[in-house]
């Protein structure tokens, strides 16, 4: 993350001189004009007479000369006022008159009256905590969730989600991965990758083309890949539905987008069409929301799910961020002109999808899920505001991988679980030495989980594990390559500086540039990495185009030694002779991550992609044996999750509230891109109830420990963190999930029905949320109705 370390100047909190005047204390006397004279006092020890004026009412209008009683005192209005709590503020509208007995005041002098609501019944009992309710629908949540809002997952307690890709068909001579190879009895969800956006609709290309792998292709003679004649279509979709009959607990979702098809798509010839994709479908060129495009796309998704028997849709939009030149360089021309509106449109997209899926579910008596592939990078998330759209999801799948790669020179783990305080990229940008960051390293899975925890229960979050490698060559420095450097040339489109990505035999799952040449990146399935560790070239390398007899990069040379860092929870291979570093995953890291998921109450695991998992196959390689496509790591997660505890199904552990009130809290007016540091939005509080909030009303909320415990306001309201979930660096993980923040209305102010107040806030690492709001009135805590819709509420 490239950021300025300049700290924002915090505004000074406003102070109010308060006098505590009890019946037996020394009280300040009033002067003739009603103002307090702090230098003259009288002794009072007698019993006070009852207040002669009616108790102050926050909703009443007072004009100059009118009196009211409040807090055992008589007060006289200096001028017209409504909702301003009587106080001794010399600039306020009230003048102290005398002490008296009584006069509690505030909203009629007693606690607000609560209106009861019917308790949830039927499917409402099964709605996951924190997921929005679509007006006018009654989706059958209980078909997918139990009455505690936890997803029904068959024999395991946590999700196991695998991406299944469309392109590993075997038709190009490389190893195929088809539906019958999926370990159906070990997973809970399959995300089919990818559909794309075409003409503002979901598309997989020409659905009647016999070469369309999703709906037209066939694999004659391949055992297990026989078509089910009961379906009108063939291809992967036919086979997925064939096996779903045998494994009804496994849900299938269609994933839309991905890195290559967020802003365009590939036509039948393999040529990329730069159509604008998600960017133009959601956002007009002027940054406004493309409502028509979003509605067209959402309607088409519903039709697509019904046609091909999918259980939901997964949105893999990379990325709706305001950070310039983020995402695929081929999309920058379209995306950069729309940056200011992308997050607003993203929220509308997910809201619209949620509503239309819920409406369809109500009609079909079938529940449809909505998920996203969620970024893990703090750089991207800084430009994604506070991810208000998370409320519309069943769950978020964090792409907690690609945290380091050959797009830059910093050699490190692809998907470390924790920070170790030594990340070379973070050190370069002074993250560890800059006070604003609190020493928190943010390129790791644990940090990414805590970011999303600010808006969601842990059980609606799944962490990503890569079934592939990332790597560099010509690495210098570091410890067996770790935290070393590798500076490259001939960088991919869009990059002026890059790392020297591993090539040839260290890069068999490589991408191609626009000229069809290999892009260095160290991309390999894990089964190939396991073979390198055993000094096995692999009998399959020719099928990936490797020619070791003529190309030195394609030859097996040197020794690949496995190393493992227990603090990071990250294994890697280091070839000292070639100075090649390959970041991997294996049995040890998978088991550690599985246990962390269990201990944290996380919803489960997602992995990219199923075809990268491994097993030892003794019959391959001319009977010498080698690692090949398998399910070792997937089985390890399944074994761990069978006996796991239930996942965490509540956003908050706060005590039960007295009731609820209609208030809206919004973080707005984020600056764009690199200007958004420090992160400095406005917090807008809107009173949507009919009750006037008196001055001194306290608002509390939670923010995630992904940011240091230093959130403050710049508007003089005195915002502060009152409970810290974590302090100090995060080596080995963040200790708690949430910080608790408090801010109060000034004592001389109030918030009338329909009114809003806005204050500028500042923090230094991105957050989702805030969430778990409470409003303290007369010393009692009230929730807000959007979070607790079934509590009795202040009307």
Torsion of CA 720, 723, 727, 731, to 10 degrees: -130
Same domain assignment for residues 200 and 77: no
Same domain assignment for residues 220 and 364: yes
628 located within any domain: no
CA 698/CA 677 separation, integer angstroms: 28
CA 516/CA 531 separation, integer angstroms: 27
Same domain assignment for residues 161 and 51: no
CB 410 within 8 A of CB 484: no
38 located within any domain: yes
pLDDT of 17 above 50: no
- Percentage of residues in the chain having pLDDT higher than 70: 93
CATH of the domain at 33: 2.10.10.20
CA 447/CA 415 separation, integer angstroms: 11
Q: Closest Cα partner for 499 from 563, 583, 430?
A: 583
CA 371/CA 364 separation, integer angstroms: 20
DSSP 8-state class, residue 635:
H
Q: How confident is the model at residue 102 (pLDDT cuts 50, 70, 90)?
A: low
Same domain assignment for residues 206 and 350: yes
pLDDT tens per residue across span 489-547:
989 889 999 999 999 999 999 999 888 899 999 999 999 999 999 999 999 999 999 99
523 located within any domain: no
Average predicted confidence (pLDDT) for the chain = 91
Q: Is the dihedral of CA 231, 234, 235, 239 positive or negative?
A: positive
Q: What is the pLDDT of residue 793?
A: 96
Structural domain for 380, as ranges: 122-399
513 located within any domain: no
Same domain assignment for residues 199 and 63: no
629 located within any domain: no
Average pLDDT (208-234) is 98
Same domain assignment for residues 90 and 129: no
pLDDT of 182 above 80: yes
Domain boundary among 399, 426, 460: 399
Phi, psi of 587 (to 5 degrees): -60, -40
CA 602/CA 622 separation, integer angstroms: 43
Same domain assignment for residues 771 and 663: yes
**Residue 89 neighbours by CB under 8 Å, 6+ apart:** 16, 17, 747, 748
CATH of the domain at 789: 2.60.40
Q: Taking phi first (over 0 means left), then psi (-120 to 50 degrees means alpha), and beta for anything else, what does residue 711 get? A: beta
Position with higher pLDDT, 309 vs 42: 309
Does the pTM exceed 0.75? yes
CATH of the domain at 285: 3.20.20.80
Angstrom CA distances, 486 to 578, 655, 675, 693, stand at 12, 52, 30, 59
Position with higher pLDDT, 353 vs 496: 353
Q: How confident is the model at residue 71 (pLDDT cuts 50, 70, 90)?
A: confident
CA 512/CA 498 separation, integer angstroms: 16
Phi, psi of 161 (to 5 degrees): -115, 125
Angle (CA) 217 257 572, round 5°: 95
CB 669 within 8 A of CB 684: no
CA 497/CA 489 separation, integer angstroms: 7
Q: Which of 100-104, 233-237, 343-347, 695-699 has the lowest mean pLDDT?
A: 100-104
Angstrom CA distances, 460 to 11, 43, 48, 397, stand at 37, 62, 57, 9
Domain count, the chain: 3
Residue 189 parent element (H or E): strand 189-198
Same domain assignment for residues 255 and 363: yes
- Counted residue by residue, the chain has a size of 795
391 located within any domain: yes
Average pLDDT (5-34) is 28
Coil vs helix vs strand at 13: coil
pLDDT tens per residue across span 593-626:
999 999 999 999 999 999 999 999 999 999 999 9
557 located within any domain: no
Q: Closest Cα partner for 76 from 66, 86, 85?
A: 66
Q: Closest Cα partner for 36 from 82, 92, 105, 85?
A: 92
Q: How confident is the model at residue 413 (pLDDT cuts 50, 70, 90)?
A: very high
Tokens of 780: 């009692």
Same domain assignment for residues 220 and 168: yes
CB 237 within 8 A of CB 214: yes
Same domain assignment for residues 73 and 212: no
pLDDT of 44 above 80: no
Q: How confident is the model at residue 103 (pLDDT cuts 50, 70, 90)?
A: low
Residue with tokens 């923090």: 763
Q: What is the pLDDT of residue 86?
A: 85
pLDDT tens per residue across span 678-731:
999 999 999 999 999 999 999 999 999 999 999 999 999 999 999 999 999 999
pLDDT of 34 above 60: no
Phi, psi of 398 (to 5 degrees): -75, 125
Cis peptide leading into 770, omega within 30 of 0? yes
Domain boundary among 399, 422, 437: 399
Q: Which of 21-35, 68-82, 194-208, 294-308 has the lowest mean pLDDT?
A: 21-35
642 located within any domain: no
Per the DSSP assignment, residues forming a β-bridge with 465 are 607
pLDDT of 5 above 70: no
Same domain assignment for residues 87 and 216: no
Domain boundary among 346, 375, 399: 399
pLDDT of 257 above 60: yes
pLDDT of 35 above 80: no
Alpha-helical runs (H) found in 656-794: none
Angstrom CA distances, 380 to 1, 318, 341, 574, stand at 9, 10, 15, 30
Tokens of 7: 């700290």
CA 230/CA 244 separation, integer angstroms: 13
Same domain assignment for residues 44 and 190: no
Q: How confident is the model at residue 50 (pLDDT cuts 50, 70, 90)?
A: confident
């Amino acid at each position: 993350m490239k950021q300025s370390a300049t700290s924002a100047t915090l505004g000074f909190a406003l102070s109010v001189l308060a006098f505590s005047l009890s019946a037996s204390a020394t009280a300040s006397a009033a002067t003739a004009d009603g103002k307090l004279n702090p230098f003259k006092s009288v002794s009072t020890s007698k019993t006070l007479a009852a207040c002669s004026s009616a108790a102050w009412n926050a909703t009443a209008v007072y004009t100059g000369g009118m009196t009211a009683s409040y807090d055992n005192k008589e007060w006289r209005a200096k001028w017209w006022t409504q909702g301003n709590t009587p106080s001794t503020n010399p600039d306020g509208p009230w003048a102290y008159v005398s002490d008296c007995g009584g006069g509690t005041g505030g909203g009629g002098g007693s606690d607000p009256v609560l209106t009861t609501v019917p308790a949830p019944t039927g499917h409402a009992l099964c709605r996951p905590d924190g997921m929005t309710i679509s007006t006018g629908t009654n989706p059958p949540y209980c078909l997918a969730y139990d009455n505690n809002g936890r997803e029904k997952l068959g024999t395991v307690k946590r999700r196991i989600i695998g991406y299944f890709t469309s392109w590993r068909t075997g038709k190009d001579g490389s190893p195929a991965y088809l539906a019958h190879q999926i370990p159906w009895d070990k997973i809970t969800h399959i995300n089919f990758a990818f559909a794309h956006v075409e003409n503002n609709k979901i598309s997989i290309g020409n659905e009647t083309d016999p070469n369309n792998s999703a709906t037209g292709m066939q694999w004659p003679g391949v055992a297990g890949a026989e078509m089910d004649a009961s379906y009108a279509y063939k291809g992967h979709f036919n086979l997925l539905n064939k096996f779903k009959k045998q494994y009804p607990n496994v849900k299938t979702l269609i994933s839309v987008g991905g890195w290559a098809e967020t802003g365009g798509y590939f036509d039948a010839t393999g040529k990329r069409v730069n159509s604008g994709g998600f960017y133009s479908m959601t956002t007009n060129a002027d940054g406004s929301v493309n409502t028509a495009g979003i509605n067209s796309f959402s309607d088409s998704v519903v039709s697509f799910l019904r046609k091909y028997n999918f259980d939901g849709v997964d949105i893999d939009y990379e990325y709706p961020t305001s950070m310039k030149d983020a995402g695929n360089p081929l999309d920058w021309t379209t995306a950069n002109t729309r940056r200011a509106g992308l997050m607003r449109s993203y929220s509308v997209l997910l809201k619209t999808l949620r509503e239309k899926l819920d409406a369809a579910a109500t009609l079909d008596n079938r529940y449809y899920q909505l998920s996203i592939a969620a970024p893990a990078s703090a750089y991207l998330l800084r430009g994604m505001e506070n991810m208000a759209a998370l409320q519309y999801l069943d769950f978020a799948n964090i792409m907690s991988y690609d945290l380091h790669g050959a797009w830059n020179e910093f050699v490190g783990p692809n998907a470390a679980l924790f920070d170790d305080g030594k990340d070379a990229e973070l050190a370069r940008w002074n993250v560890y030495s800059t006070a604003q960051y609190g020493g928190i390293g943010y390129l790791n899975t644990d940090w990414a989980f805590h970011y999303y925890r600010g808006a969601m229960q842990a059980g609606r979050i799944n962490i990503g594990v890569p079934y592939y490698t990332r790597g560099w060559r010509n690495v210098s420095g570091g410890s067996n390559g770790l935290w070393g450097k590798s500076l490259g040339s001939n960088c991919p489109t869009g990059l002026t500086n890059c790392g020297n990505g591993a090539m040839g035999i260290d890069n068999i799952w490589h991408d191609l540039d626009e000229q069809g040449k290999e892009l260095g990146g160290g991309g390999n399935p894990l089964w190939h990495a396991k073979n390198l560790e055993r000094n096995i070239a692999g009998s399959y390398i020719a099928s990936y185009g490797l020619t070791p007899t003529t190309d030195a990069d394609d030859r097996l040379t040197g020794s690949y030694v496995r190393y493992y860092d227990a603090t990071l929870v990250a294994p890697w291979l280091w070839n000292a002779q070639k100075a090649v570093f390959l970041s991997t995953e294996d049995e040890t890291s998978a088991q550690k991550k599985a246990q962390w998921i269990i201990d944290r109450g996380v919803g489960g695991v997602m992995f990219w992609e199923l075809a990268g998992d491994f097993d030892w196959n003794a019959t391959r390689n001319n009977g010498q044996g080698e690692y090949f496509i398998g399910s070792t790591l997937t089985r390890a997660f399944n074994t761990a999750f069978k006996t796991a505890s239930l996942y965490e199904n509540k956003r908050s552990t706060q005590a039960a509230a007295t009731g609820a009130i209609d208030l809206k809290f919004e973080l707005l007016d984020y600056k764009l891109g690199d200007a958004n540091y420090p992160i400095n939005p406005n917090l807008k509080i809107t009173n949507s109830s009919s009750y006037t909030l008196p001055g001194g009303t306290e608002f509390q909320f939670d923010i995630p420990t992904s940011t240091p415990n230093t959130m403050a306001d710049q508007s003089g309201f005195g915002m502060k963190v009152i409970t810290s979930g974590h302090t100090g660096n995060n080596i080995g993980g963040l200790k708690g999930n949430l910080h608790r923040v408090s801010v109060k209305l000034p004592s001389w102010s109030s918030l009338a029905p329909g009114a809003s107040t806005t204050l500028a806030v500042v923090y230094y690492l991105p957050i989702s949320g805030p969430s778990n709001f409470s409003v303290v009135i007369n010393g009692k805590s009230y929730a807000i109705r959007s979070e607790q819709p079934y509590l009795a509420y202040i009307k």
